[in-house]
Amino acid sequence: MDNQGQKMLESAQSIINKTARKLGYKPSIVDRLIEPEMIHEFTFRVRMDNGEVKLFKGWRIQHNNALGPYKGGIRFHPDTTREEVQALATLMTIKCSVAGLPYGGAKGGVIVDPKKLSETELERLSKRYAEKIAPFIGEDVDVPAPDVNTNPKIMSWMNDEYQKIIGKKSPAAFTGKPFDQGGSLGRTEATGRGGVIVLKSLISKLNSQFSILNFQSNPKSQLSNKKNENLNIENSLKISNFKLKIPQHPTIAVQGFGNVGYYFAKIAHDERFKIVAVSDSKGGVYVKEGLSPEKTLECKKEKGSVAGCYCKGSVCDVRYGKPVSNEALLELPVDVLVPAALENVINEKNMDKIQAKVIVEMANGPITEEAYEYLVKKGVVIVPDVLANSGGVTVSYLEWVQGKQRYWWSEEEVNKKLEEMILKAFEIIWNSSVKKKIPLKQAAFEVAVERIVKAL
């Protein structure tokens, strides 16, 4: 992971550097966009159930607060490194800017395998970490949230400890809390839901664009009928960087069946998209006719993994599909590929085997720089992680707003606001991509960097 974290950091810094220089910013501005403003590194002691005291190392890295308070999750993982946390903090600055949120970027991490701790040990560790970061966080300074291996319960422990230290209630100091402790409805599904909202809008744009290009190349085609008379060819921005037609109900493969991957699959399935493959860390299944994400999750809970869960409709039966490895899932002949698990899974080893027309990056950094360049040249449309998985931080922002005003919305209201905000973000990035004839990722970073520099 040391190497992976370093690679991720170098990749994040490289794209920001290239973007800022292309936009003509001075080296001093580029440095401010790349270097973190604060790196808090510390060790802390936690008493185990057997009386032993163990030392743990943790970080809170605050990258940039030009747009507002720092914002970012806290991960508990045995392979966490400073470089990884810094890379993620850097990308949070970009993600919040892309999403149009009044936040900067931060990230936290602890080197620990939470699966090896009892619940009481995990609670003590969470509270000790909160004690360490308490002096430099707060609802208007830095607002932590859950990330890998942390959850609403852990956020509630941290928030309790933080409130004890500052001596008052602060329902907006942490987000991702349980609803009865100041959390927001709709937060659990938010990241997956946001990804589906972006995918639906993308398909609509691509198909509209394909129709316009087809009309331009063949004015006598059926597109000249009355239904299409209102197509304003002159104002179509004459783009040529997107020439794809995607079925209205595309086939989708999802790598990763945790919170993000499951809710993406479930909500996409509810929208009548065809989920043909899903996988977790132990492997996956491929059901050509389409599988049921809900039944697959039930089956996974029984079996401990999705392997063998060939769930079509309300029945799980081996006749419906076949096993597929995580690696093979990425290479399936699908319309849309959704890497929702680990970073760098699409790389120089498998990039030439990718068959999907569209990739939606629900994981952070699932495509290496080399593979990204190759796939873009090949004509694959890639929705970057800083946009695709921004639904989570967007609803975290809505939770923060609710906590500050001490007034909580219904789930329907939260989902509606999420859709409005993420569609607005997508529209701006799409238009920039179209106008400049550049990929969505480049457009997203340019939009983000321009906003941050303007705030600086």
Alpha-carbon gap, residue 355 to 138, rounded angstroms: 46
Pairing mode, if any, of strands 322-324 and 336-339? unpaired
Residue 385: what residue type? D
Other Cβ atoms within 10 Å of 420 Cβ, number: 12
Between the CA of residue 194 and those of 8, 95, 200, 341, 446, what are the distances in Å?
24, 13, 10, 16, 21
Beta bridge partners of 61: 39, 107
Beta bridge partners of 342: none
Burial class for 29, CB neighbours closer than 10 Å (0-12, 13-18, 19+):
middle
Active site residue 107: yes
Beta bridge partners of 71: 105, 143
Catalytic residue among 71, 95, 107, 312: 107
Alpha-carbon gap, residue 443 to 449, rounded angstroms: 10
Q: What's the token pair of residue 315?
A: 């029945």
Between the CA of residue 14 and those of 33, 206, 452, what are the distances in Å?
11, 29, 17
**DSSP secondary structure string, 387-401?**
HHTTHHHHHHHHHHH
CA geometry: angle 68, 195, 83, nearest 5 deg: 55
Specify the 3-state DSSP secondary structure of 332. Answer: coil
Q: What's the token pair of residue 368?
A: 């290496």
Beta bridge partners of 126: none
Alpha-carbon gap, residue 85 to 90, rounded angstroms: 9
Alpha-carbon gap, residue 432 to 139, rounded angstroms: 33
Beta bridge partners of 274: 251
**DSSP secondary structure string, 43-98?**
EEEEE-TTS-EEEEEEEEEEEE-SSSSEEEEEEEETT--HHHHHHHHHHHHHHHHH
List active site positions: 107
